[in-house]
């Protein structure tokens, strides 16, 4: 397993601050129309509005932290069933909220994430978690996902193609927007069935 130094941790924190700062600056500059714009003929995460992307980043922050905590608790943890704590504004509810509210939530969430990172000793960054989506990654690699993910969505919020793409085990990005729509329909169908409708 790789061994990480304090320089690696400092670089991580610097990059996280830089990329999050750029992303929030782009989000703050959005007009009301731009915040709800859905790109035509886009696929995967590129289909999301800026608001949905901000909500997605909030959800993924909780997921990355949950995966890190699982790996910290048990080196080599199986992350298949590990989920982040639900956020107050999930992606499907993002259109009913304003950008400023989502930005404030992201800022608050990041304070807790930075506290977690600063609490770790160097050995802990080398612990690993196994995900069916991304494979085996160290805690440091999971944490580096924060600034890479911000870079990706910052570009999308600005209306340009990101040069960064996550390295999915399958080689292809899952269509998360469609998966979320299907999940919501399934929940709705189940709820109607329980109500006897």
186 pLDDT higher than 80: no
Res 48: pLDDT: 87
State the Cα torsion 130-131-135-136 to the nearest 10°.
-20
Res 2: pLDDT: 83
Residue 127 vs residues 4, 14, 68, 182: alpha-carbon distances, Å: 11, 22, 9, 35
Q: Considering only 20-24, 60-64, 90-94, 159-163, which range has the smallest mean pLDDT?
A: 159-163
Q: Which residue has the higher pLDDT, 194 or 110?
A: 110
Spell out the domain ranges in the chain: 6-190
The phi, psi pair for 164, rounded to 5°, reads: -95, 135
Strands 128-131 and 135-138: antiparallel
196 pLDDT higher than 90: no
Distance CA 86, CA 99 (A): 19
DSSP state of 123: G
User: 3-state DSSP call for residue 137?
Assistant: strand
CATH fold of 6-190: 1.20.120
- Average pLDDT, integer, range 4-30: 97
């Amino acid at each position: 397993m790789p061994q990480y130094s304090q320089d690696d941790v400092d670089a991580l924190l610097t990059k996280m601050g830089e990329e999050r700062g750029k992303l929030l600056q782009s989000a703050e500059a959005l007009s009301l129309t731009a915040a709800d714009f859905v790109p035509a003929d886009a696929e995967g995460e590129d289909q999301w509005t800026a608001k949905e992307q901000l909500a997605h980043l909030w959800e993924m922050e909780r997921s990355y932290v949950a995966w890190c905590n699982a790996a910290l608790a048990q080196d080599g943890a199986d992350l298949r069933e590990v989920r982040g704590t639900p956020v107050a504004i999930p992606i499907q509810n993002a259109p009913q909220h304003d950008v400023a509210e989502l930005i404030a939530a992201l800022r608050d969430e990041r304070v807790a994430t930075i506290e977690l990172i600063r609490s770790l000793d160097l050995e802990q960054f080398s612990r690993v978690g196994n995900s069916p989506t991304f494979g085996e990654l160290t805690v440091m690699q999971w944490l580096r996902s924060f600034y890479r993910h911000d870079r990706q969505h910052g570009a999308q919020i600005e209306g340009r193609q990101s040069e960064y793409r996550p390295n999915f085990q399958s080689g292809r990005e899952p269509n998360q927007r469609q998966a979320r729509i299907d999940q919501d329909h399934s929940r709705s169908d189940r709820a109607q069935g329980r109500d006897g409708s």
